Amino acid sequence: MKEHEFRSCGEIILKMNCVIPGVNIKVFGRAVHSLSRIGEELYVEPLEHGLALRTVNSSRSAYACFLFAPSFFQHYDDGSGQTINGSGKEEEEGEEESIRCKIAMKSCLTVFKSVYTLEKTVERCKIKLDMNESRLIFQLHCRHGIVKTHNLAFIECETLQAVFSKDMCPNSLRASARLLCDAVQNFQNNQEEVTLIVKPDKILLKNYVEDEPDPTKVVHTELRLEPEEFDNIQVGVDSEVTFCLKEMRAILAFAEATNLPISLKFETAGRPIVFSIDSDSAFEANFVLATLADTMTQQRVSSQAESKTSQKRKYTSNSRPSVKASNKSQNSRKESDSMHVGRANKTEEQSARINEHEESRRKPNNKSPDEQGRSNRLNAALSELMNDDMDDVMLDQETREEISKQPIPPASGATSVSGRDNETDRITTGSPVPSTSRENVSPLIPLQSSKPQIFNITTEDIEMKENEEEEEEELVPGTPPSKRFRSMFFGSQASTITQSSQKALTKELSVLAEDTDDEG
Amino acid sequence: MALSTQQSNDDDQYVLLAKLDNVRHVSTILKAIHFKEIATLFASPMGLKVTVEDAKCVQANAFIQESIFHHYIIKEEQVNFKINLTVLLECLTIFGSSAVPGVSTSLKMCYAGYGCPLLLILEEDGVLTDCSIKTLEPDEVLDFNFLSTNVINKIIMKSECLKEAFSELDMTSDVLQILLSPDPPYFRLSTFGNSGSTHSDFPKDSDMVESFQCTQTQTNRYKISLLKPSVKALTLSARVSIRIDNRGFLSLQYMIKNEDGQVCFVEYYCSPDEDVDEAEH
């Protein structure tokens, strides 16, 4: 407390202080450029284990995150008060958290406008947060002693987090950027989506033309990629995933410039595809793109999946009606989104997500016993979903103590639990080491969306959350943003709820399971 | 050059006659001040001075001294007229503006006096182009009364590092603030745009700074829209001299070297922004 007061009346309060060495400035600049091709706002979050830059596109069907590890920097201080003046450390920790903020992508882009000159002239780049002036400061120290200081206005916000998993995806490809760039070059510039088809014996990439008024009148491009050219291929489920080319190009632009291989992890249509780039320990990038939920593909895939793969992976199938329904409810979700502020979102999204699942489960139920079997698996999937969130707690929350004080939000009530799965997952995710905990995420990939949030939690917020929770369930909230992309929910809330849901899971496993069954 | 002898007999009728082997020596300099359509041309025995003004606040002068031309005759003390600079530049670059090695366009420029058109004869590889551009009644140009004795702060630096700073100027900012001071930060360019403020600091001991003569701290703001056109001159130049007088008027002098190593000067004057509210930062 004392420490805090002293600093606020005297010196400028600076949170976070990072110095990027000249050799890495190009990578950082490229990352910003790549992010700028996806979203219009840049979320900057200094974390203990690195500086996170994230963005989400306007339709929330694509999410990108760069995490620059402390080793990427010449000097790294996340501003949580743990590295500055050791004496004041303990006092600070309780009340101050690291700041999350967002800035306009455009303004950040002006800092890193020309990657070429950056590389040539910048010797180091300092990044600081000035809390007095509410400015995010980029200071470029260039050759000849020239210093360029950019004071960018920022808005404090909640963390932007897509909940996704990549490590248990049945399908995984790893290729050089070059290979994928060459492949993608063959598509026309105005091509919106491409379909990636993987089968044990072949990998195809073709342009998606089914949304054309007359598919016979457009150019069809189909590329067969030689499996030998990939660094690594793992195909667990035959699948066809359709995703936006624009975002993929953003990823490739970065990967090509940095000359790093790209890993693609995906499941089936309708489930997000994750592109990741990993540079030893210096930084990692994850791009999560929604894939198109296509009836035809879905059905085919699910039938294949049933015969071939383990039970766990089959929950993905979606029938046409459920997609429609979720699209409809998307609107209602959006409305309620805009209605509220505070920490409510995640919970709501969570329930939205779950409802969606309920729906896709319910409809099939009316149709065939086979579908019913699937609904059971869906239950398992749902429980995995909850576990997913826990990982994010580990990843992004420095405010655990604070959050755990909150009442358990009803969201967790929606969790349908199949105990066994949970048990195992919980153990793995319980690891406090963030980077590793992420590795253990379950294969369900709900992405949670929410608006940037006000930082402080008040009791009001919590109440609101509960209310909205209920509302939301009545609305049968659903999915996704643009087109027929299935929903990706991005949560700034990840931490809050996940924390509580974790608690819920540990305490009330059996009860929760019953709840959900009733609903179904 | 390949102009006939008969024509040269007619040359007597012109009050101004200039010949040049490589038209690019003139066209590049004129491009550096081409931010308005109409320019005023002053010809004197010293050479040509072309002036462009905007908003009664900024003035750009390009000096093309007599030695740039291989033939330069003027029969009067001073000849001046206004001309459409856009058209003049289009004519001068009619054979293309990019440098092709081994090929140069020669120019013969004639002006017969008040009310007459400016005649241009361009020749490249035996291809002749005749141009006749109407001249306009000359107006008075601004006199900034910028005296070197009133200069308070002056920096001469290599253009290279300023080029970047100027090309990256945040155009959402209304003003460019220039700080010159004998104390740190010595020389600072600041913009205040939508997304926040930006400062570029140039230390006086930088190897980019060739001369640093600042006597007192001065902070002045200039309309960025008025200064932005000077980037054209800046990009062409090798050195720039930045001077600010006691009234806050800004003089930017650019030294431009052409392909033959000859030196020309382009000069910008700009008046400070009136409503200077107590400058922060």
Q: From CA B88, how far away is CA B93, in angstroms rounded?
A: 9
Nearest to B211 by CA among B264, B158, B254, B265: B158
Buried-state track A480-503, b at ≥16 Cβ within 10 A, e below 16: bbebbbbbbbbbbbbbbbbbbbbb
Lowest-confidence segment of A120-124, A512-516, B252-256 by average pLDDT: A512-516
The arithmetic mean of pLDDT across residues A118-123, rounded, is 89
**Residue with the larger pLDDT of the pair A418 and B263:** B263
The arithmetic mean of pLDDT across residues A222-238, rounded, is 89
What does B95-156 look like in DSSP terms, one character per residue? T-SS-BTTB--EEEEEE-STTPPEEEEEEETTEEEEEEE-EEPPPPPP-----GGGEEEEEE
- Which residues does residue B222 pair with via DSSP β-bridges, in sequence order? B176
Q: Mutate which of A144, A147, A152, A154 to disrupt the B interface (most B C-beta within 10 Å)?
A: A144
Lowest-confidence segment of A113-122, A287-296, A369-378, B50-59 by average pLDDT: A369-378
Q: Answer yes or no: are the C-beta atoms of B79 and B43 closer than 8 Å.
A: yes
pLDDT at A405 over 90: no
Q: Answer yes or no: are the C-beta atoms of B66 and B45 closer than 8 Å.
A: yes
pLDDT at B45 over 70: yes
Q: So what's the ipTM on this one?
A: 0.82
Percent of chain B with pLDDT over 70: 94
- Which residues does residue B245 pair with via DSSP β-bridges, in sequence order? B151
- pLDDT score for B275: 62
- pLDDT score for A37: 92
The dotted CATH code for A171-519 is: 3.10.150.10
Asked if A121's CB is within 8 angstroms of B195's CB, the reply is no
Q: Do domains A2-157 and A171-519 have the same CATH topology?
A: no
- pLDDT score for A212: 80
The arithmetic mean of pLDDT across residues A125-141, rounded, is 89
Q: Answer yes or no: are the C-beta atoms of B18 and B75 closer than 8 Å.
A: no
Asked if B164's CB is within 8 angstroms of A117's CB, the reply is yes
pLDDT at A328 over 60: no
* Residue B139 φ/ψ, nearest 5 degrees: -100, 170
Nearest to A145 among B170, B194, B203 (CB): B203
What does A446-457 look like in DSSP terms, one character per residue? ---------S--
Q: Cα A357–A362–A368 angle (5° rounding)?
A: 125
- pLDDT score for A98: 66
In this structure, whether the domain defined by B5-136 belongs to CATH 3.70.10.10 is answered with yes
CA distances from residue A443 to A44, A271, A423, A440, A506 in whole angstroms, order as listed: 27, 10, 15, 9, 21
> By CA distance, what is A105's nearest residue in B?
B195
Q: Which helix (H) or strand (E) holds B28?
A: helix B24-31
- Which residues does residue A156 pair with via DSSP β-bridges, in sequence order? A101
CA distances from residue B263 to B62, B241, B269 in whole angstroms, order as listed: 12, 14, 20
Asked if A117's CB is within 8 angstroms of B165's CB, the reply is no
Give tens-digit pLDDT for A482-505: 445 544 544 444 333 334 444 444
- pLDDT score for A491: 42
Q: Spell out which chain A residues touch chain B, with contact meaning CB-CB distance below 8 angstroms.
A: 103-104, 106-107, 110, 113-114, 117, 121, 135-136, 142, 144-153
Give tens-digit pLDDT for A27-40: 999 999 999 999 99
Nearest to B207 among A106, A110, A144 (CB): A144
Domain edges within chain B: 5-136, 148-270
**Cis link prior to A446 (omega < 30° from 0)?**
no
Nearest to A151 among B196, B201, B205 (CB): B196
Give tens-digit pLDDT for A312-321: 333 333 333 3
Q: Spell out which chain B residues touch chain A, with contact meaning CB-CB distance below 8 angstroms.
A: 161, 164-165, 168, 170, 185, 193-203, 205-208
What does A258-291 look like in DSSP terms, one character per residue? HT--EEEEE-STTS-EEEEEEETTTEEEEEEE--
Q: From CA B275, how far away is CA B111, in angstroms rounded?
A: 44
- pLDDT score for B277: 55
pLDDT at A229 over 70: yes
Asked if A121's CB is within 8 angstroms of B201's CB, the reply is no
Lowest-confidence segment of A5-9, A151-155, A323-327 by average pLDDT: A323-327
Q: From CA B78, how far away is CA A517, in angstroms rounded?
A: 98
Which stretch, A391-405, A483-497, B185-199, has highest mean pLDDT?
Answer: B185-199
The arithmetic mean of pLDDT across residues A364-387, rounded, is 40
Give tens-digit pLDDT for B133-175: 999 999 899 999 999 999 999 999 999 888 888 888 888 899 9
Of the pLDDT bands very low, low, confident and very high (cuts 50, 70, 90), residue A116 is confident
Nearest to B161 among A106, A114, A144 (CB): A144
Domain edges within chain A: 2-157, 171-519
In this structure, whether the domain defined by B148-270 belongs to CATH 3.70.10.10 is answered with yes
**Residue with the larger pLDDT of the pair A397 and A160:** A160
Give tens-digit pLDDT for B95-109: 987 877 888 899 999
Q: Which helix (H) or strand (E) holds A427?
A: helix A419-429
> By CA distance, what is B158's nearest residue in A?
A144
pLDDT at A21 over 80: yes
Percent of chain A with pLDDT over 90: 22
Q: Answer yes or no: are the C-beta atoms of B228 and B169 closer than 8 Å.
A: yes
Give tens-digit pLDDT for B67-90: 999 999 999 999 999 999 999 999
Nearest to B205 among A106, A145, A150 (CB): A145
Give tens-digit pLDDT for B14-37: 999 999 999 999 999 999 999 999
The arithmetic mean of pLDDT across residues A322-337, rounded, is 35
- pLDDT score for A216: 82
- pLDDT score for A166: 74
Percent of chain B with pLDDT over 90: 76
What is the average pLDDT score of chain B? 90
- pLDDT score for B64: 95
Report the CATH architecture of A2-157.
Answer: Box (3.70)
- pLDDT score for B59: 95
